[in-house]
Structure 1
């Protein structure tokens, strides 16, 4: 995501002829987009994306379980008072 943001900023700077980026070749300006495509291809091929999604899902499940336990404990404590 950072590479896309960098690419957009560099592209705007080049198009609007702002700063030293105006003198750069378009190849350098557009290179963050190429790197983003390479990153996504690697992340999908290596399983990185799926692994991160699974870790996020496991974290959500653990938090939901903890909230349920806390709710059960608080309702049990109210009955015993």
Structure 2
């Protein structure tokens, strides 16, 4: 996501001819878009995106369980 933000920032700076970026070639300005596409392709093909989503869901589930246990007056177990 950071690469996409950088790409959009460089594109805006080049388009509005701001600062040093105005003198850069369009290839240098558009290169982060290619890097972003490569990152997303790698993340999807290796399962990185799915794994991170599952970890986030599991953490939310565990937080909800711990909150309910505290409401019942039970101490939640420490993670192993």
Question: TM-score scaled to structure 1, two decimals?
Answer: 0.86
Q: Partner of 2:54 in structure 1?
A: 54
Does residue 66 of structure 1 match 2:63? no
For these two proteins, the number of residue pairs brought into alignment is: 74
Q: CA deviation at 1:12?
A: 1.0
**Structure 1, unaligned stretches of length 5 or more?**
75-81
- Partner in structure 1 of residue 78 of structure 2: none
Q: For residues 63 and 36 of structure 1, what CA distance do their matches in structure 2 show?
A: 33
Structure number having the greater helix percentage: 1
**Matches of residues 3-14 of structure 1 in structure 2 within 5 Å?**
3-14=3-14
SS at match of 1:73: coil
Matching of residues 13-28 of structure 1 within 5 Å: 13-28=13-28
Provide the TM-score with structure 2 as the length reference. Answer: 0.87
Structure 2: segments with no counterpart, 5+ residues:
75-80
Q: Give the 4+ runs in structure 1 shifted more than 2 A.
A: none
Report the structure number with the largest CA radius of gyration: 1
Would you say 1:37 and 2:30 are equivalent positions? no
